[in-house]
Amino acid sequence: MEKSATTYGILVKNSLVNELAQEFVRSLNNQQSLDEMLKLTIACSLIVNQVLSASASSEPGATSDKEIAIDDRYVSMLADLDYVNLYTKVLIVTAARKTELTGSGLNAKLRYPKPGRLSTSASKAERTMMFMFASCVLAYVDIGKVVMGYQDWTMTKNNLHYLIDEINKA
Residues in Cβ contact with 140 at an 8 Å cutoff, skipping those fewer than 6 apart: none
Q: What is the dihedral of CA 33, 108, 40, 65, to 10 degrees?
A: 180
Residues in Cβ contact with 106 at an 8 Å cutoff, skipping those fewer than 6 apart: 158, 161, 162
Q: Domain ranges in the chain?
A: 28-169
Helix, coil or strand: residue 112: strand
d(CA 1, CA 6): 9
Q: What is the pLDDT along the chain (170 residues), one digit of tens a residue?
A: 567 777 877 887 777 777 766 655 556 667 788 889 999 999 999 999 999 888 777 666 555 556 788 888 999 999 999 999 888 776 666 666 666 666 777 888 988 888 765 556 888 888 999 999 999 999 999 888 888 777 888 899 999 999 999 998 87
Partners of residue 111 on adjacent β-strands: 85
d(CA 136, CA 125): 16
What's the pLDDT score for residue 123? 82
Residue from 152, 157, 151 nearest 105 by CA: 157
Residue from 146, 165, 143 nearest 44 by CA: 143
What's the pLDDT score for residue 137? 95
The model's pTM: 0.74
84 DSSP 8-state letter: E
